[in-house]
Amino acid sequence: MEQNSQVEVFDSQIRELYGRVVWSHKTQEKCADIIWERHKAIKITQIVLSATTTTGILVAVFGENYWVGLISAILSALLFGLNTYTKDYDLGEIAQKHSTAANNLWNIRESYLSLLTDMAAQKLSVEQIRNKRDELQDDLFNIYKGSPRTISKAYQEATKALNVNEELTFSKKELNQLLPESLRK
């Protein structure tokens, strides 16, 4: 097979891999955000339930109020259920794992982009392209192997972020605003 046609085949595959990593990276980011928000909401709920229960118990004990005691018992049961749920799931830790996976995927994403750039500039031989692709594939496998599974809501938010909000794209004007004046076009 001619070298140019081999490069075209690699180019096609590497573009596909790049696209997959872009989606995975954004999905992991969104998943970290979603789970972190859940974590914060649960912690705030635990604090509110704990404070309300304690206050209610004190009022019931010193004020001998049956209804306050009953409400406090119900709130205490809710707090117990929430604490039992969070006992086995450290949502803060899970969010951090998603964030770490996103950071690692960002590096792979940028490496694929650099590889595509080098290929377009015709700076690599077919063998160099194949070796770099295989190296990135091994790195990507290790990242996926250690990454937590994402949730469907994160994929939906990633889809919106990439397709609607265009979070990974810039207009020429936006790029020029970000670059130093000497590099603007």
For 63-104, the pLDDT digits (tens) are 777 787 788 888 888 989 888 888 888 899 999 999 999 999
Q: What is the pLDDT of residue 83?
A: 87
Q: 95 near 39, Cβ under 8 Å?
A: yes
DSSP, res 58:
H
Q: Which residue has the tokens 């160099």?
A: 128
Lowest mean pLDDT among 87-91, 133-137, 150-154: 87-91
Higher pLDDT, 180 or 8: 8
For residues 25 and 99, give the distance between their C-alpha atoms in angstroms, rounded to a whole number. 9
Q: 105 near 22, Cβ under 8 Å?
A: no
| pLDDT-derived band at 116, boundaries 50, 70, 90 | very high
Higher pLDDT, 1 or 20: 20
Residue 58: count other Cβ atoms within 10 Å of its Cβ.
Answer: 12
Q: 136 near 112, Cβ under 8 Å?
A: yes
Residue 64: count other Cβ atoms within 10 Å of its Cβ.
Answer: 9
For residues 130 and 2, give the distance between their C-alpha atoms in angstroms, rounded to a whole number. 15
Average pLDDT, rounded, for the chain: 89
For residues 144 and 134, give the distance between their C-alpha atoms in angstroms, rounded to a whole number. 15
Q: Give the residue among 105, 98, 97 at the shortest CA–CA distance from 143.
A: 105
The mean pLDDT value for 148-163 works out to: 92
What CA–CA distances, in Å, run from 118 to 7, 10, 19, 112, 126?
Answer: 11, 12, 17, 10, 12
Q: What is the pTM of this model?
A: 0.80
